[in-house]
Amino acid sequence: MPLTQLTPHHIAAAIRNVPDFPKPGIQFKDITPVLADAKLFAASIDLLTQNFKPGEVDAVVGIDARGFIFAAAAALKLRAGFIPVRKKGKLPYQTYEQPYDLEYGINTVAIHTDAVHPGSRVLLIDDLLATGGTAAAAAALLEKIGAKVLEINFLIELGFLKGRTKLQGYPVRSVIVY
Ligand code: AMP
């Protein structure tokens, strides 16, 4: 099928649901079949970036680790830079850190203190929005370094977990909502 005719429905059909991974009760959304299909991968990037043209975004920010895949491809398409938000302890230079709550315990994400110039226009991308803690922590880091967050976009949103409520004040878009 020509790329222009591919819709979120075609991407959704390729996402594999893996029950009880990585632990009992989790329905893991496996996006590797989407990545492996050249047209579906390209359509995913087109849909994630559809509100922007090259020159309108200074950097695309991806969240460790699957977010990197989509954000890096989106950055190339938009002729923008790519910036990683990583799990604590992985970035080599000076960082700001932001902890956030998990169901059990806390996680921490980090960004380089000089990742963008203040006022830079950034698009934040991750593969999946669940409870919203990860994306909210990433957005907080971007505020701290003075970035202007244009949109927060996901390939998949688990709507029943209401993660959007943690991202109020930002335009949030998802390609596929379960
Ligand atoms: P949350 O902070 O709860 O919104 O979780 C979002 C992060 O956890 C994303 O980076 C996802 O990659 C990952 N994640 C959470 N739930 C799932 C799931 N059911 N399938 C795949 N990835 C998930």
Sign of CA dihedral 106, 18, 70, 126: negative
pLDDT tens sequence across 1-17: 888 789 999 999 999 99
Q: Is the pTM of this model over 0.85?
A: yes
How does the average pLDDT of the chain come out, rounded?
Answer: 97
Residue of 97, 103, 157, 173 marked active site: 103
pLDDT tens sequence across 116-135: 999 999 999 999 999 999 99
C-alpha to C-alpha distance for 111 and 29, rounded to whole angstroms: 26
The answer to whether position 113 is within a domain reads yes
* Residues ≥6 apart with Cβ < 8 Å to 49: 74, 77, 78, 123, 153
Mutation test residue for ligand 1: of 86, 107, 127, 128, the one with most atoms within 8 Å of CB:
128
For the sheet containing 148-157, what is the strand order?
Answer: 95-101, 106-112, 81-87, 59-63, 121-129, 148-157, 172-177
Number of domains in the chain: 1
Sign of CA dihedral 176, 15, 164, 117: negative
Phi then psi for residue 137, to 5 deg, are -65, -40
Helix axes 38-48, 66-78, angle to 10 degrees: 70
C-alpha to C-alpha distance for 5 and 67, rounded to whole angstroms: 25
Closest by CA position to 98, among listed 150, 65, 142, 61: 142
Residue 134 Cβ < 6 Å to ligand 1 = yes
pLDDT tens sequence across 93-120: 999 999 999 878 899 999 999 999 999 9
Residue 63 Cβ < 6 Å to ligand 1 = yes
pLDDT of residue 5: 86
Ligand 1 centroid to 91 CA: how many Å? 21
For residue 176, which amino acid is it?
Answer: I
Domain span at 114? 53-177
The answer to whether position 164 is within a domain reads yes
Helices and strands, number each (H, E), in the chain: 5, 9
pLDDT of residue 11: 98
Q: Report residue 173's pLDDT band, with 50, 70 and 90 as the boundaries.
A: very high
The answer to whether position 40 is within a domain reads no
The answer to whether position 163 is within a domain reads yes
pLDDT of residue 125: 98
Residue 27 Cβ < 6 Å to ligand 1 = yes
Percent of the chain at pLDDT above 90?
Answer: 95
Write the CATH number for 139: 3.40.50.2020
The answer to whether position 58 is within a domain reads yes
Q: Report residue 32's pLDDT band, with 50, 70 and 90 as the boundaries.
A: very high
Q: Which tokens sit at 84? A: 């990683």
Q: Report residue 145's pLDDT band, with 50, 70 and 90 as the boundaries.
A: very high
The answer to whether position 25 is within a domain reads no
Q: Which tokens sit at 132? A: 């919203």
Residue of 16, 66, 121, 143 marked active site: 66
Element holding 9 (H helix, E strand): helix 8-14
The answer to whether position 133 is within a domain reads yes
The answer to whether position 68 is within a domain reads yes
Ligand 1 centroid to 89 CA: how many Å? 20
